[in-house]
Amino acid sequence: MTENPTPDPAAIGTIAFLGLGHMGGPMAVNLVKAGYSLAAYDPVPAALEAAREHGIATVDSAAEAVKDASVVLTMLPSGRHVLDAYRGVDGGPGLLSQAPPDTLFLDCSTINVDEAREAAEIALEAGHRSVDAPVSGGVVGAEAGTLTFMVGALPEDFETVKPVLEVMGRRIVHCGDHGSGQAAKVCNNMILGVSMIAVCEAFVLGEKLGLSHQVLFDVASNASGQCWALTTNCPVPGPVPTSPANRDYQPGFAGALMAKDLRLAVNAVEGTGAVAEMGRLASRIYDAFAEGDGATRDFSGIINDIREKSGG
């Protein structure tokens, strides 16, 4: 981590902001509030309308957004979306050919490590700069400007984007070269997926053994079972009043997103030959969870599946 440079929105120029969804929308709002000049675009008219209501300058196409940009920030659903947008689809031009030379492409979407490296490669080949900066902290963090950014970038590009990211986040971590931000994100979320399942299994086992939730929480949260899945996102109602279990598992972090992130982790496992049996199993368990209504519930709601399979 380096010293904070003084944020100077004017020095950055126009930021093309592409993807005004659950995360991108509030992130763009924070940039505008901090004085940055945006040209924002999303193919969904309702997303554009909502952005305009928050004072964000929108344009009618991605091409228009990037034509005078010095930074192109993408917050898109998947790596396929990012690569298609960069390259263009069906023979049409992509952002890389439409942006001015030496534009900094800043992708904040959660995508495969290999896709992030490919995105950087084609951006550099086209004469641009590239940074991957996936986030954690969810919609609440996006709204509050308290996201964590995990950044894969050359040192000089990290210095350029850091003040921009500091407007949207509280913790900005330079993880290494291109793709390292995504690498850190998948590793972290593999820990999270596996540990949440372990915490849920322990609560269900505790129920069967006659332990109250509070007793197990009091012991484990002060012992070696302590982890974020237990102490912040506790999957049973009661011990942590702010956890999603207390509001019928409204997310929070939706099961579909956990399933997605674990698939990205498994892709990385397969690409590297790392042994990650727990990660692979967690991915299968969350895929099954996300096939049903778990897709839209907090990922801690997996405890209900585990309890049901355990005979109630």
Positions touching ligand NAD (CB under 6 A) are: 18-24, 41-44, 47, 62, 75-77, 81, 85, 109-110, 135-136, 138-139, 257, 260
Beta partners for residue 107, in sequence order: 74, 132
Q: Residue 49 or residue 248: which is nearer to ligand NAD going by CB?
A: 49
Distance CA 287, CA 158 (A): 34
3-state SS, residue 277 = helix
Q: Residue 142 or residue 276: which is nearer to ligand NAD going by CB?
A: 142
Distance CA 203, CA 234 (A): 10
Establish whether the linkage from the previous residue to 193 is cis, with ω within 30° of 0. no
Minimal distance, residue 77 CB to ligand NAD, in Å:
5
Minimal distance, residue 22 CB to ligand NAD, in Å:
4
Minimal distance, residue 46 CB to ligand NAD, in Å:
9
Q: Residue 143 or residue 166: which is nearer to ligand NAD going by CB?
A: 143
Q: Which residue is at the shortest CB distance from ligand NAD?
A: 21
Catalytic residues: 185
Tally: H helices and E strands in the chain: 15, 8
Q: Which residue carries 């042994």 as its tokens?
A: 275
Are 133 and 165 in contact by the 8 Å Cβ rule? The answer is yes
Minimal distance, residue 70 CB to ligand NAD, in Å:
18
Q: Residue 211 or residue 295: which is nearer to ligand NAD going by CB?
A: 295
